[in-house]
Structure 1
Amino acid sequence: MDQVRRTILKRMQERGLNYKEVSLELGKNAAYMQQFMERNIPAKLKEDVRSRLSEILDLPEGDLGAPERSDGRSTDDKSKDIPEIDLVAGLGAGGFSALEQTSRNGITFAKEVVRDHWRLPEWMLARMGVKAAHVAAFPAQGDSMSPTIGDGDVVFIDTRHRVPSPDGVYALADEFGGVVVKRLEVTSRPGAETVTVKIISDNPRHSEREFTLDEIHIVGRYIGRFTV
């Protein structure tokens, strides 16, 4: 077994993961990882699979066989990139079309709707309690969350959080396929069969709405903003 596969197996054992679980996290069939690990040729992961696997196992892409760049650094540097989503490109009937894949580690966005990337200092990410791979950014639109968030502010969200626990500010897909930022408050009693959520705008000129949890699609929890 070559070094890449030994590294993968060791980390899976440390995290109590099996081949099937990792395969499904990758969006592949249940036997994908076992077949990869049992090959009689040196391990070589496709770029998209390697990038996703590095998030699942919390390993640098260099440890998974990422090639060296011309400046001598591994291409896993891109794992520090935070995608900024073009909301106009993400609009589409029937849901937010920018969402490509979701898992317990966050959301992967379709490349065609990522218009640029951000990089934040490690100390700032640590203060937010996230890694760059868990974060996405997009420009806020409108004044519904004023003064907390202004029109044109770039909002950063933690895409691992897709239920409103605890109550707070979240990004969610709207009925037109875009993304809005709202304050969410669970209004049903603990243990209720149907969970209801109040959607609140910080700007009092906008009315409140209430839905069941099944009727909303949370994209992530608000963790910060960039404003000019």
Structure 2
Amino acid sequence: MIAETSEAGDPRRRLLELADGMGVSLSRLSALIGRNSSYLQQFIRKGSPKKLEEGDRRTLADFFGISESELGGTEEKSYKVSSALRDEEFIAVPRLAIAVSAGPGQFAGGETPFDNFGFSGRWLRDNGLDPKMLSAVTVEGDSMEPLLRHGDEVLVDRTPGPWRDGIHVVRVGETLSVKRLARSGQDRVSLLSQNLAYPPVDLPLDEVDVIGRVVWKSGRV
């Protein structure tokens, strides 16, 4: 049963028609917009939320190659894409409102997604990455220059398992940092900066919480 609505051109019914027509599940579409798997099911069946948020509506309109007005938006906001692009599998990876320090230290600001990056599902599979374990955060500071610059965003793979030498997001106390990790002895680890103005920090391994490995970066030229 679809939740009743008084609006002309019911966006709930239209979304269900589009999903059925393309053979894509509501749970997959929910993942596309960075929501939990039952989000669009509740939107259609229970009327919660009452309307799609603008960013979610835009992403869905892009995916189906339709006007946002068909999903409850204004007529002016229309996004048409080629059939080739629609046929490609894109997966939404959340961008988190968190800054990771590449300098003296930065506290986490929260873990609520404010947007998402769309990644090719094939690219993620080819690189052995599980979308459910990925998130993007922002770099602050200059200790990882020139590899990572202030304002870059990095994709963090939080898949559990033994860590290996490389660039990771770590938590020491309540401070999040992005550093190159290297074992420095039995049960010890060095946090290394790319910028040689910052000396290595050597710590017992049990004082370092490895959040995830950095697997991709985005930044302005």
Task: Tell me what 1:75 maps to.
Answer: 26
Q: 1:220 aligns with which of 205, 208, 212?
A: 212
The reply on whether 1:172 has 2:170 as its aligned counterpart is: yes
After TM superposition, the structure 1 = structure 2 runs for residues 1-228 of structure 1, keeping only pairs within 5 Å, are 69-70=15-16, 71-72=18-19, 73-77=24-28, 78-79=30-31, 80-87=91-98, 98=110, 110=111, 113-161=112-160, 163=162, 165-175=163-173, 177-189=174-186, 195-228=187-220
Q: C-alpha displacement at 1:69, in angstroms?
A: 4.5
Identity %: 21
Q: C-alpha displacement at 1:81, in angstroms?
A: 2.1
8 Å contact kept, 1:135–1:156: yes
User: 2:204 and 2:131 mapped to 1: Cα distance?
Assistant: 31
Q: C-alpha displacement at 1:202, in angstroms?
A: 0.7
Give unpaired runs (5+ residues) of structure 1: 1-67, 89-94, 99-109, 190-194
Normalised to the residue count of structure 1, the TM-score between the two structures is 0.53
8 Å contact kept, 1:81–1:133: no
Q: C-alpha displacement at 1:183, in angstroms?
A: 0.4
Task: Identify the structure with the greater strand proportion.
Answer: 2
Q: CA RMSD in A?
A: 2.3
8 Å contact kept, 1:125–1:132: yes
SS of the residue 1:123 aligns to = helix
Residues 96 and 153 of structure 1: CA distance in aligned 2, closer, same or farther (over 3 Å)? closer
Residues 174 and 214 of structure 1: CA distance in aligned 2, closer, same or farther (over 3 Å)? closer
Normalised to the residue count of structure 2, the TM-score between the two structures is 0.55
Q: C-alpha displacement at 1:169, in angstroms?
A: 0.6
Q: C-alpha displacement at 1:75, in angstroms?
A: 2.2
The more displaced of 131-140 and 75-84 is 75-84
8 Å contact kept, 2:168–2:180: yes
Q: C-alpha displacement at 1:212, in angstroms?
A: 1.1
User: 2:150 and 2:121 mapped to 1: Cα distance?
Assistant: 27
Task: Tell me what 1:5 maps to.
Answer: none
User: 2:205 and 2:109 mapped to 1: Cα distance?
Assistant: 20
8 Å contact kept, 1:157–1:222: yes
Q: Deviations over 1:172-203 (max 9, x none)?
A: 1244x3532100011124xxxxx100000011
How many residues align? The count is: 135
User: 1:114 and 1:135 mapped to 2: Cα distance?
Assistant: 12
8 Å contact kept, 2:98–2:108: no
User: 2:185 and 2:123 mapped to 1: Cα distance?
Assistant: 35
Q: Which one has the largest radius of gyration? A: 2
SS of the residue 1:157 aligns to = strand
Residues 127 and 226 of structure 1: CA distance in aligned 2, closer, same or farther (over 3 Å)? farther
